[in-house]
A and B are shown apart, each in its own frame.
Chain A
Amino acid sequence: MNGMWRAVLESAAVADAEMRKLRRDPTELLSRAVQPVLWLGVFGQVFSQVRGIATGSLRYLDFMAPGILAQSILFSAIFYGIAIIWERDLGIVHKLLVTPAHRSALVLGKALAAGMRGLVQAVVVYLVAITLKVDIRWEVLPMLTVAAAVFAGSCIFSSFSLVIACIVKTRERFMGIGQVLTMPLFFASNAIYPLDLMPPWLQIIAMFNPLTYLVDVLRGAMIIGGSSVHAVGASFGIMLGVFATLLALAARLYPGLAR
């Protein structure tokens, strides 16, 4: 059997185990719904009333819904690293690393599970959005686009988180860095305001922020009247490129956790 196929089976094994763990923890899913409820229900409602942010013909609440979906993906994926550090503090990482499995398959499996979790997260955000009467596009192709983007975004941010975990190695440092990184990622993106309202320097930073491309795809595909600035194919290309880079980095750094 060739190495490629073996790697696929190994990733599937890791992803399967991860998903079983996620399924056993539905409370976490509920607690993750709190943030989107607050952002959409409070922030979104208020800013729609005052029309404080110019979003053209689009209602502000509709404008920000894809941004909040992307944010919830970011925030739940970014804490994936905590679980990795936990596994290192026990001996689980060591157990996985002495198997002949490809190192890249081990980290890919984790990312794929994060992707699945992101899809569940998206369902939760959709439910919140429906309750608040956001104008959702209920068409097959756009919804598949949303699903693909959510999956890709979860893979990117969970791998990013894994890379950080491999570098900082301790829970305390990770918590600190996690807070420091997520907020700038969120604010230096088009999640809650259009790029052209930003000062030029922030626009440049936002251009290098993968969250921007996730939000941009979602904005075109999730809501009625929404539009993407970049071509959807280009955004997916960029996201895949970022993911591949992070995955390669994670596969290199992950064995360091057992040292």
Chain B
Amino acid sequence: MAHDEPIAAIATAGLSKRFNHLVALDRVTLTVAQGTIFGLLGPNGAGKSTAIKILTTLLDASDGLARVAGFDVAKDPVEVRRRIGYVPQLLSADGALTAIENLNLSARLYGLRGKTRAARVRDALAFAGLEDLGDRLVRTYSGGMIRRLEIAQATLHVPEVLFLDEPTIGLDPVARRTVWDKLLELRQRNGMAILITTHDMEEAEVLCDELGILHQGRLVVTGKPEELKAGVGPAATLEDVFAHYSGAVLESGGNYREIRESRSAIRRLG
């Protein structure tokens, strides 16, 4: 990389992950520029969550390199952690705490103190649209409110790169749209790079500047949504692109595992 080039938000080379004999991620090479919203698509089990876990330092790669915000995830995990936010696939807000308590816990773990912390928590609450409900236990919130809180919580420290694993799964259309608006706002305001995984082609279309399709651990194609569509055919939709590269037709409603996971997460919180 030339030294006058800006540092990529995410850069991987030959990134691989094996679980015993299963190859979950197979030599993935990917660059996401600063300020880009990148959508990682792929059917269930394609390796999307595995990729996110490696990039967020939760999981060690078996092979290859990954740099996030300019730091190697394996060599400088703490430097990476200071610069990223992460909203996991399941529910990460603590239902037994209030929104303010959730935000305060994260703020303190990110080393924010005193007046800065109070101001950031207040801003985050406003960002999530929960000013009047900050003292209520999160387990009384709706799914959309929880997601907004989680995004606010993951961005309190103004990270350079934000990772979201299926952020709108299980949300109604209005709540889903609100989440998109929030993510666009973050990119707009802070120039944050955002990597999201999704099965939702509308989400990919509306939100993402660039897409990558993972299939059985391999990144089979990357490009802007229009480029990908044009590459498949004159009147192709993103669904067609998805089917073309992953060999899978999207079924509405998701598979059993997905439904079980999102439902059980909601039930546990309730």
Q: Which residue of B lies closest to A6 (CB)?
A: B111
Interfacial residues of chain B within 60-97, with CB under 8 A of chain A in the complex: 78, 81-82, 84-86, 88-94, 96-97
Interface size class of A (residues with CB under 8 A): 20 to 34
With an 8 A cutoff between CB atoms, is B236 at the interface? Answer: no
| Residue among A13, A92, A94 making CB contact with B108, cutoff 8 Å | A13
Known A14-B105, A97-B58, A101-B109: A91·B90 in contact at CB below 8 Å: yes
Interfacial residues of chain A within 190-248, with CB under 8 A of chain B in the complex: none
B269 touches A100 (CB 8 A): no
With an 8 A cutoff between CB atoms, is A255 at the interface? Answer: yes
Show the binding face of A for B, using Cβ within 8 Å.
6, 9-10, 12-14, 16-17, 20-21, 24, 86-87, 89-92, 94-101, 255, 258-259
With an 8 A cutoff between CB atoms, is B237 at the interface? Answer: no
Q: Which residue of B lies closest to A21 (CB)?
A: B96
A98 touches B90 (CB 8 A): no
Give the distance in Å from the alpha carbon of A95 to the alpha carbon of B59 in the complex: 13
| Residue among B84, B265, B269 making CB contact with A98, cutoff 8 Å | B84
Q: Which residue of A lies closest to B94 (CB)?
A: A92
B108 touches A10 (CB 8 A): yes
Task: Knowing that A21-B96, A87-B94, A255-B58 touch, tell me 20 more A-B residue pairs with CB under 8 angstroms.
Answer: A9-B111, A17-B94, A17-B97, A86-B268, A89-B264, A89-B268, A90-B90, A91-B91, A92-B94, A94-B58, A95-B88, A95-B92, A97-B57, A99-B109, A100-B78, A100-B81, A100-B82, A100-B110, A100-B111, A258-B58
Q: Which residue of B lies closest to A98 (CB)?
A: B86
Residues of A within 8 A of B96 (CB): 21, 24
Residues of A within 8 A of B81 (CB): 98-100
Known A99-B81, A99-B109: A259·B59 in contact at CB below 8 Å: yes
With an 8 A cutoff between CB atoms, is B53 at the interface? Answer: yes
With an 8 A cutoff between CB atoms, is B153 at the interface? Answer: yes
Q: Which residue of B lies closest to A88 (CB)?
A: B90
Q: Which residue of A lies closest to B153 (CB)?
A: A95
Known A91-B88, A258-B53: A99·B106 in contact at CB below 8 Å: yes
Residues of B within 8 A of A9 (CB): 108, 111, 113
Q: Which residue of A lies closest to B261 (CB)?
A: A89
Residues of B within 8 A of A94 (CB): 58, 86, 88, 92
Give the distance in Å from the alpha carbon of A239 to the alpha carbon of B40 in the complex: 49
Residues of A within 8 A of B197 (CB): none
9 pairs across A/B with beta carbons < 8 Å? A9-B111, A20-B101, A21-B97, A86-B268, A89-B90, A89-B264, A90-B268, A98-B56, A98-B81
